[in-house]
Chains A and B, each alone.
Chain A
């Protein structure tokens, strides 16, 4: 059963009671919350995801978003993210409950799923090959990811690249795409049809909203992808669209430093990382216009297809 098949009142009731069991890529969640913002966020963004009765199912992560049980609930109310009874973060203002759920879920995956090498990077796929987009915040990674997945690329993830340690394939976790500050308007202008939820203001990252993942990406969430490229995007005002080769050795170093669990995996992290680099082409990518950037990525995907045929 899909989440959109639950009536809003059933969803609210389940969230406030036993919790809603939800599958996102390789992970299952049980989410509990009495907060209307959380129910609204899930309805808006997770409609295509599978839900079950949480009593009968195994859940990887049991999370809860509720106000702390203090007097603060009456004065500048706050929200806590609880991971099965522990609180990994300080509480945030109540208005940030939904983004806190998304950040908390990223934390759950990156702190526990050591059967993957997990890199802080977006992943999108077209014609069977995936592009990994690692980049520091502010480089326009999320904007580019949103632009690509609104233009026929498949979303694997906007934050977490999951590399299967056995197969080297990339696993999809197509949760909503996080957009910050100006990117929200850039994406609204790029595709007026794109659904972007209610923004939360004054977060640690500024104004944050989430874009609903494309339906096709969610339906194909159990389909892994072969890594094809590692591309470092950089948005620069008035820059021409430009793709230039990036050193493989430096790419490896960057990925290792930006992996959440590289050091936990010991020698295996090195093996998985180098195997990935050997299979991929590595580029720097500068852009200022999102349409041109998407066209450049499409050419890359097309050249790969010609090479294969």
Chain B
């Protein structure tokens, strides 16, 4: 596997390496952790090991400032979910909060030191129209996407275009499934809903069951084309797994559920790269039972080449000559998994040759 100088996962694996750090190492750690969105999480890990005092004075404020922001965001996420609940209360539908928001609501260790970009919710597909209308009324408006992107989202994706609140500028992604209909596998959202867990104090708001949360996170990571927060998402998984694995038959339940939802392949990849980057304690028996879902050897070599690069912090010091190719490959692969060829080729053509010239400064749809 490609070995680049990834200080962040090194420190997350083994915080006491920082005792030997020179000031130049701290400089690089801060930069890599910032670009991976992991400054607050690294600080949290150092604090757990009682090592905050070991951070040199000049570097410390970077960690503290990020922790300030992360703490504030936890409060803000709860507040936003409360607002979403109020906006959707009349529809009387289950609102399932996904990813980071769910970690906060479930008081999971994966919420600690996590920074947020948006809040993801899952609602029944036949309620998408009323949900969007109710959110619009409460101040969440569609972000200005190009017509192409709007059409693309609504026709092919498992979510509607992001909605942004006019005053607070918070962004909600409304999903009706966890993968697009056109994807090779797309787990039935009703199956996910059937095991969702109610959030105390917020009637109508749910989070996925612990196993489903892990499977969703893994699926997202290995089906998403752009991975600006790849390592952060991997550390989320690491924390979710360590937390859940306290339960003795957790691993058996996880694998059974992955088979039921046809998500063994993304789980295989997630566990493989968790071991590689973060030394997550995964029993060998688990890896062995997932071996049946591994790709062939040649594909695996290729995938290792891609994911050991794209899951590292997006920082020049973590990149080698092949990193740009690996990023492109991950992007194309994600789209390959999401849609059949007759849709894929025109879409990538549009993204490569038409979108860049429609300079409307909007977030990318895919």
- Which residues of A come within 8 Å of B, CB atoms? 28, 55-60, 62, 84-86, 112-115, 263-266, 268
Contacts and interface: CB of A to CB of B under 8 A. Distances in A.
A263 B73 CA distance: 10
Contacts of A86: 35
Given A62-B31, A115-B68, A266-B72, 20 more contacts: A55-B24, A56-B24, A57-B23, A57-B27, A58-B23, A58-B24, A58-B27, A59-B27, A84-B35, A85-B314, A85-B315, A86-B35, A112-B65, A114-B64, A114-B69, A115-B65, A263-B72, A264-B69, A264-B72, A268-B68
A253 to B, nearest CB: 16
Contacts of A266: 71-72, 75
Interface of B: 23-24, 26-27, 30-31, 34-35, 56, 58-59, 61-62, 64-66, 68-69, 71-72, 75, 314-316
A114 B71 CA distance: 12
Contact of A114 (B27, B68, B315): B68
Contacts of A85: 35, 314-316
Given A84-B34, A85-B316, A266-B72, A58 B59 contact: yes
Contacts of B62: 60, 112
A84 B315 contact: yes
Nearest to B59: A58
Contacts of B316: 85
B35 A56 contact: no
Nearest to A59: B27
B65 A114 contact: yes
Contacts of B34: 84
9 smallest beta-carbon distances between A and B, as pairs? A114-B65, A114-B68, A58-B27, A115-B61, A58-B58, A266-B72, A58-B23, A85-B316, A264-B72
Contacts of A62: 31
Nearest to A28: B58
Contacts of B27: 57-59
Contacts of A115: 61, 64-65, 68
Contact of B23 (A56, A112, A113): A56
In terms of DSSP, what is the predominant structure of the interface of chain A?
loop
15 contacts: A28-B58, A57-B27, A58-B26, A58-B27, A84-B31, A84-B34, A85-B315, A86-B35, A113-B61, A114-B64, A114-B65, A114-B66, A114-B69, A265-B72, A266-B75
A142 B30 CA distance: 34
B56 A58 contact: yes
A294 to B, nearest CB: 35
A28 B314 CA distance: 23
Contacts of B64: 114-115
Nearest to B61: A115
A12 B30 CA distance: 27
Contacts of A263: 72
A41 B152 CA distance: 47
B72 A113 contact: no
Nearest to A165: B68
A265 B71 CA distance: 9
B247 to A, nearest CB: 34
B243 to A, nearest CB: 26
Nearest to B75: A266
Nearest to B34: A84
A173 to B, nearest CB: 14
A191 B219 CA distance: 65
A234 to B, nearest CB: 28
A55 B30 CA distance: 15
B30 to A, nearest CB: 8
A62 B28 CA distance: 10
B151 to A, nearest CB: 26
Nearest to A115: B61
Contacts of B56: 58
Contacts of A56: 23-24
Nearest to B74: A266
Most central of B27, B64, B316 by chain A CB within 10 Å: B27
Contacts of B30: 58
A62 B315 CA distance: 12
A138 B64 CA distance: 35
Contacts of B59: 58
A265 B31 contact: no
B37 to A, nearest CB: 12
B329 to A, nearest CB: 20
Contacts of B75: 266
A48 B30 CA distance: 28
Contacts of A112: 62, 65
Contacts of B65: 112-115
A265 B76 CA distance: 11
A154 B59 CA distance: 28
Contacts of B26: 58
B36 to A, nearest CB: 12
A222 B71 CA distance: 29
A56 B22 CA distance: 9
Contacts of A60: 58, 62
B252 to A, nearest CB: 42
Contacts of B24: 55-56, 58
B4 to A, nearest CB: 14
A59 B23 CA distance: 10
A257 to B, nearest CB: 13
Given A56-B23, A60-B62, A265 B68 contact: yes
Contacts of A268: 68
A113 B23 CA distance: 20
A91 to B, nearest CB: 12
B364 to A, nearest CB: 15
A288 to B, nearest CB: 38
Contacts of B72: 263-266
A114 B68 CA distance: 7
A114 B26 CA distance: 19
